[in-house]
């Protein structure tokens, strides 16, 4: 009897207060199913609708082993493509099909990708500080916990400055001052290098809060601190400026968590404007396209550093680790501070971290399960995060 897809379920949950979307693809073989990540936190209900109303009817009755054909046809079935809602929806399906493939082969996912290139996955953790002194304390704590690579932020993205000069009447939003932000970060990293020397790999996320000219200046100034990388110095709309930035600094550059469309990363890679590609794997459509992107990066000497935030299910984190451990041009993996006790309760098999390395459990497929009863205890909330409403001192809207 031919193996077919019999049902597609969407499971939403927020064990740590962040909206997560998981997909379960069930098959005609009893007990054989796959799980995938389709999380688009800020528009999670749109993804749920896309899967339940459009992709589910499209998939029922199809052979789950025909992963590439399903990905290609699902991607163009709506005609318009390469947007975050549909890409995440297709990603959830794609990961679930790869999970099924691994279970059929009785192998962990990385074995299907050619096996291990390393024994564990090196990762970096966040140190999200309230002040410069707090940053020094947090980095010390991370170091004592065994972390060797740390991303340091002060006062959120763009920094907090209570002395921002605003108009008399101010529109609601999260305000930041680019000049104050740059000065604070430079002072912080100077103090970090004085205290810790070169023993730690340090990175920082600009989160697109600067103009192209400011980004060029900032990347040059940060050069003295020998960074692991400087992340997202520009928004996707301004990537044409990377040739200027690359010409003015040797600071390693990482880019890509907001990318949806291949045209956003092809030139950056082929012209070697960046050192690390940081795609959000579910945002670009899942495992199938990312495996091709890895090979493309390898051709041009660009390494991978996949986006690993709190708004990604542990299924997605595990997929990143499977790709990392089997990728020769892998660089480093982001690991979120939000992966805590509730997450391990809802998602048994979530990868574990020890001394800055991620370890997989070697179960067939992705290796992560979902406890649907536990997931139901932590419902999602349809409220936009405040940090997305960024504003400059004069009240004008800025990229978040």
pLDDT tens-place string over residues 211-262: 999 999 999 999 999 999 999 999 999 999 999 999 999 999 999 999 999 9
pTM value surpassing 0.95 = yes
What is the structure's pLDDT at 161?
83
Residue 112 confidence (pLDDT):
98
**Mean pLDDT for the chain overall:** 96
Contacts of 46 (CB under 8 A, 6+ apart): 40, 85
Q: Could you report the per-residue pLDDT of 8-22, keeping only the tens digit for each?
A: 999 999 999 999 999
pLDDT score at 387: 87
* pLDDT tens digits, one per residue of 184-204: 999 999 999 999 999 999 999
Inform me whether the pLDDT recorded for 124 exceeds 90. Answer: yes
Secondary structure E strands in the chain: 5-13, 20-27, 33-37, 121-129, 149-154, 174-175, 201-205, 229-231, 253-255, 276-277, 303-304, 333-334, 352-354, 357-359, 390-391
SS in 3 state form for 179-206?
HHHHHHHHHHHHHHHHHHCCCCEEEEEC
**Torsion angles phi and psi, residue 331, rounded to 5:** -105, -70
Listed in order, strand segments (DSSP E) in 282-391 are 303-304, 333-334, 352-354, 357-359, 390-391
96 pLDDT more than 90? yes
Q: Which residues are annotated as catalytic?
A: 157, 207
pLDDT in tens, 305-359: 999 999 999 999 999 999 999 999 999 999 999 899 999 999 999 999 999 999 9
- Please give the pLDDT value at position 266: 97
Q: Which domains does the chain have, with CATH numbers?
A: 5-107 (3.30.390.10), 111-364 (3.20.20.120)
**In the chain, % of residues over pLDDT 90:** 95
Residues 352-379 have a mean pLDDT of 98
Q: Is the dihedral of CA 369, 372, 378, 380 positive or negative?
A: positive
Average pLDDT value for residue range 172-188: 96
Residue 34 dihedral angles phi and psi, to the nearest 5°: -130, 155
pLDDT attached to residue 91: 98
Q: Sorting pLDDT into bands at 50, 70 and 90, what band is 399?
A: confident
Residue 394 has pLDDT above 90, yes or no: yes
Is pLDDT above 90 for 163?
no
Residue 114 has pLDDT above 90, yes or no: yes
* pLDDT, tens digit (0-9, with 9 covering 90-100), for 126-155: 999 999 999 999 999 999 999 999 999 999
**In the prediction, which pLDDT does 363 show?**
98
- Identify the pLDDT of residue 384: 80
Burial class for 392, CB neighbours closer than 10 Å (0-12, 13-18, 19+): middle
């Amino acid at each position: 009897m031919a193996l077919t897809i019999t049902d597609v379920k969407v499971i939403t949950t927020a064990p740590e207060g962040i909206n997560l979307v998981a997909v379960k693809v069930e098959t005609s073989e009893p007990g054989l199913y796959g799980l995938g990540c389709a999380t688009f936190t800020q528009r999670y209900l749109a993804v749920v609708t896309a899967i339940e109303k459009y992709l589910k009817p499209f998939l029922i009755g199809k052979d789950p082993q025909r992963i590439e054909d399903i990905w290609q046809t699902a991607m163009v079935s709506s005609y318009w493509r390469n947007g975050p809602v549909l890409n995440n929806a297709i990603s959830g399906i794609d990961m679930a099909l790869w999970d099924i493939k691994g279970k059929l082969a009785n192998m962990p996912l990385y074995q299907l990708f050619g096996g291990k290139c390393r024994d564990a996955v090196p990762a970096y953790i966040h140190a999200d500080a309230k002040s410069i002194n707090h940053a020094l304390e947090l980095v010390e704590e991370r170091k004592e916990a065994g972390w060797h690579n740390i991303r340091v932020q002060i006062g959120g993205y763009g920094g907090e400055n209570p002395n921002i000069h605003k108009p008399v009447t101010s529109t609601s939003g999260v305000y930041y001052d680019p000049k104050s932000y740059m000065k604070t970060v430079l002072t912080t990293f100077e103090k970090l290098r004085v205290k810790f020397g070169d023993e730690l790999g340090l990175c920082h996320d600009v989160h697109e809060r600067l103009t192209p000219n400011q980004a060029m200046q900032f990347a040059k100034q940060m050069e003295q601190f020998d960074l692991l990388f400087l992340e997202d110095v520009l928004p996707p709309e301004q990537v044409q400026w990377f040739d200027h930035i690359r010409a003015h600094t040797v600071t390693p550059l990482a880019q890509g968590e907001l990318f949806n469309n291949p045209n956003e990363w092809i030139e950056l890679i082929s012209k070697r404007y960046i050192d690390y590609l940081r795609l959000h794997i579910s945002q670009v459509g899942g495992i199938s396209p990312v495996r091709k992107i890895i090979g493309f990066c390898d051709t041009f000497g660009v390494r991978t550093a996949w986006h690993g935030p709190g708004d990604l299910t542990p299924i997605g984190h595990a997929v990143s680790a499977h790709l990392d451990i089997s990728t020769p041009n892998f660089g480093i993996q982001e690991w979120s501070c939000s992966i805590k006790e509730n997450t391990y309760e809802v998602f048994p098999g979530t990868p574990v971290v020890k001394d800055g390395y991620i370890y997989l459990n070697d179960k067939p497929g992705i290796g992560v399960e979902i406890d649907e009863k536990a997931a139901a205890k932590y419902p999602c909330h349809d409220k936009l995060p405040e940090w997305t409403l960024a504003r400059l001192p004069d009240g004008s809207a800025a990229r978040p």
